[in-house]
């Protein structure tokens, strides 16, 4: 079967679906392919900190982070208008523990990525965006007028532009003609029940640990403790020793969390973050083609999704983005 669309996005994580909504709002006909289930990978494994002020972020990330923070409330309002589901900010303050022993109070929001995923997917399904799960690209053919994408479903989709938002799977994609250093970084974390006498309403974060409380929704009354950063390929197994180490680190910030009795574990999991050697995303056009990249967001995919959607949509429309994308160009690794 042959289908025509304006833009094809490979990858239905938070970045891919946010871009799909942005392009759709600008009048584009969008098709999204997902090799697995939409939003099933890093997008729902994250803690949900909008950590634009994290002192451990690369300095070059700051302008894009600021743009995303500026866009975030409108982004959530757009999702709510389409889906009927409001996604609340869970916290508005972060206590940042600095290496010299001091603590900085940051005005910084967090949200629950699982709540965001439900609302975002419902918003996409409320439009005529063609989302195809369990469908991959087999190969592409590029023509002067666009790209012909051949899918594992047997369909052939003709589009003007193609965007790869394939996260940790970017460098394993059979379609990649470029050798891009995007690799998975495993992150284990756990969620614990907070004791009644601990009124935790702020994020507590140091370089090697964070504690993110949930105040609203199905996880209210609990907190996330994370996360490891491991070069373990695509392994997502959870190790009890690593979880115990995370809990020990968290107890240095909040001693009550040391005890499994006082703060019992509710669940644990591991996600795969798409990392690059400089910890910056890859955003831009693949030279001499109608193909684009939006990947490598590492620990900041939730934070950067709205800004990534806007700047990529601008590039696709041959507009100049409001943020200099030179630090994120794919050619920096060639």
In angstroms, the first-to-last Cα distance of the chain is 36
H or E stretch including 236? Answer: none
How confident is the model over 13-34, as pLDDT tens digits? 999 999 999 999 999 999 999 9
Residues, the chain, total?
334
Question: 8 phi and psi, to 5 degrees?
Answer: -115, 130
pLDDT for 115 equals 98
pLDDT for 287 equals 86
Structural domains in the chain, CATH included, are: 2-91+109-182+277-333 (3.50.50.60), 184-275 (3.30.9.10)
User: If pLDDT is split at 50, 70 and 90, which confidence band does 176 have?
Assistant: low
Q: How many CB atoms lie within 10 A of CB 280?
A: 21
pLDDT for 3 equals 67
pLDDT for 145 equals 81
How confident is the model over 58-96, as pLDDT tens digits? 999 999 999 999 999 999 999 999 999 999 999 999 999
- State the pTM of this model: 0.96
Question: 199 phi and psi, to 5 degrees?
Answer: -90, 75
- Which of 242, 244, 215 has the alpha carbon at shortest distance from 229? 242
């Amino acid at each position: 079967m042959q289908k025509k669309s304006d833009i094809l996005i490979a990858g239905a994580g938070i970045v891919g679906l946010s871009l799909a909504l942005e392009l759709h709002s600008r009048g584009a006909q969008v098709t999204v392919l997902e090799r697995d289930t939409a939003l099933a990978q890093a997008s729902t494994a994250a803690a949900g900190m909008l950590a634009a002020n994290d002192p451990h972020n690369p300095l070059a990330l700051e302008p894009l982070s600021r743009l995303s923070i500026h866009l975030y409330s409108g982004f959530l309002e757009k999702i709510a208008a389409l889906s009927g589901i409001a996604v609340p900010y869970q916290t508005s303050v972060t206590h940042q523990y600095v290496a010299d022993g001091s603590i900085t109070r940051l005005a910084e929001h967090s949200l629950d990525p699982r709540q965001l995923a439900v609302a975002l997917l419902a918003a996409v399904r409320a439009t005529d965006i063609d989302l195809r799960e369990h469908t991959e690209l087999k190969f592409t053919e590029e023509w002067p007028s666009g790209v012909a994408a051949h899918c594992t479903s047997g369909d052939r989709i003709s589009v003007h532009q193609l965007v790869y938002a394939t996260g940790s799977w970017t460098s394993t994609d059979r379609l990649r003609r470029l050798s891009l250093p995007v690799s998975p970084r495993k992150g284990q974390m756990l969620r614990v029940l907070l004791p009644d006498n601990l009124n935790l309403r702020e994020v507590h974060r140091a370089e090697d640990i964070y504690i993110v409380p949930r105040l609203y929704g199905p996880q209210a009354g609990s907190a996330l403790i994370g996360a490891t950063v491991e070069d373990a390929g695509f392994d997502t197994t959870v190790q009890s020793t690593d979880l115990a180490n995370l809990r020990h680190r968290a107890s240095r910030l909040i001693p009550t969390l040391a005890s499994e009795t006082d703060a019992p574990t509710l669940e644990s999991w591991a996600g795969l973050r798409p990392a690059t050697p400089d910890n910056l995303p890859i955003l831009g056009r693949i030279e001499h083609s109608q193909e684009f990249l939006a990947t490598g967001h590492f620990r900041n995919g939730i934070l950067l999704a709205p800004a990534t959607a806007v700047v990529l949509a601008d590039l696709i429309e041959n507009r100049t983005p409001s943020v200099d994308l030179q630090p994120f160009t794919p050619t920096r690794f060639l």
